[in-house]
Amino acid sequence: MEVRDGVVLAIHGGAGTILRERMTPELDREYRTALAGALLAGHQVLAAGGRAEEAVVAAIRPLEDSPLFNAGRGAVLNDDGAVELDASIMLGSSGMAGAVAGVTRVRHPIEAAVRVMTETEHVLLAGPGADRFIAQQGLELAEPEWFVSPHRELQLRQLQAEDVSQVAPEGPGSGHKFGTVGCVALDIAGHLAAGTSTGGMARKAWGRVGDSPVIGAGTWAADETCAVSCTGHGEFFIRKAIAHQIHARMLHGGAGIEEAARGAVLEDLPDGGGSGGCVALDARGRFVAPFTTPGMYRGWIDARGQVTVRIHGDER
């Protein structure tokens, strides 16, 4: 949990109970390879002089395409067996933001969030209306079957059979209900950006929207403080406005990024009964990734392209 220096981009792939006994060597390698690939994709953009938000999109896209993570392909299924995808992005330079909630057809929800930000006067579009906007934008769509992976169908059947409403272990073949992917980036101009993408909560009903598309809850970016992407039980992140809380602890409380992120995630969040984690990066390249869970898929990369990937909480 210590502060890392010189980080230019960091990602998470969800926080939860990641049990070593359920994690085969092959699966462990698949996760680490996917995380490293996303870090390198984002780094490539930054190394070429790209903007922070472009790097965020470049890192999140492969995570959305991977069936390992609860975002895009491989997203959890709602009670009807379909995906409802949420994503958001925010720029530290201008405070501009975009988000979609409950969309069903776009291959890369993070790109839809970008279009809301750049092509409309709005911040958040939801449901069938958001799907119509996406279709008008000509973003790449995918058939419903493309998103559905066998382990998510098994998970849904298990949840429906057991009527489980609690968080279960993370990972394919296990029954985890939550999960998110997210990225924070710092570009050579000194600007920050943050993005988050998720399938939300397994077996969700009634158009439930979690924290990922809620600016201030799951995502925040301000150059003067930090870029944040959160993961965990979303309702608790909304009730505590965790992402904005980290910003506010820095801006109004004078905290550094470590104190602010630890305070919000390790104190405020459990104080409200919540669990999860975040990645947080300031404009000086200082990075922290606090989480309350036994594990969080995470990784970071420095300007030279040095990659670090972690899964369990006890990894140094």
Dihedral Cα 74, 76, 78, 83, nearest 10 deg = -30
Nearer to a copy of itself among residue 173 and residue 272 (C-beta): 272
Is residue 122 at the binding interface for a copy of itself, with CB under 8 A as the rule?
Answer: yes
Binding string, residues 191-230; x marks residues near a copy of itself by CB under 8 A: --------------xxxxxx---xxxx--x----------
128 binds a copy of itself (CB under 8 A): yes
Regarding 245 and contact with a copy of itself (CB under 8 A), the answer is yes
Catalytic residue among 180, 196, 198, 292: 180
Cα-trace Rg, the chain: 17
Strand partners, 219: 215, 229
- Residue 240, CA distances (Å) to 97, 186, 236, 272 in order: 20, 26, 6, 7
Q: Which stretch binds a copy of itself (CB under 8 A): 53-61, 138-146, 176-184, 241-249?
A: 241-249
Instruction: Identify the DSSP state of 175.
Output: -
Considering only residues 6, 37, 81, 127, which one is a binding residue for a copy of itself as defined by CB under 8 A? 127
- Contacting range for a copy of itself; rule: CB under 8 A; set: 50-58, 69-77, 96-104, 289-297: 96-104
Taking the least distance from each CB to a copy of itself, the nearer of 46 and 221 is 221
Does the protein bind a copy of itself through residue 118 (CB under 8 A)? Answer: no
Angle at CA 156, nearest 5°, toward 153 and 162? 140
If binding means CB under 8 A, how many residues of this protein chain bind a copy of itself? 45
Q: Which amino acid is at 123?
A: V
For residues 25 to 64, the per-residue mask of contacts with a copy of itself, x marking binding by CB under 8 A and - elsewhere, is: ----------------------------------------
b/e per residue 255-294 (b: at least 16 CB within 10 A): bbbbbbbbbbbeebbeeeebbbbbbbbbbebbbbbbbbbb
**Residue 180 annotated as catalytic:** yes
The minimum distance between CB 240 and a copy of itself, in angstroms, equals 7
Q: CB nearer to a copy of itself: give 39 or 201.
A: 201
| Cβ burial 227-236 (10 Å sphere, 16+ → b, else e) | bbbbbbbbbb
Q: Based on the shown chain and the rule CB under 8 A, indicate whether residue 249 belongs to the binding site for a copy of itself.
A: yes
Distance CA 91, CA 98 (A): 9
Q: Cβ(69)–Cβ(34) under 8 Å?
A: yes
Please give the Cα distance from 197 to 180 (Å, whole number): 6
Active site residues: 180
Footprint of a copy of itself on this chain (CB under 8 A)?
90, 95-97, 101-102, 120-130, 132-133, 165, 205-210, 214-217, 220, 234-235, 238-241, 244-245, 248-249, 251-253, 272
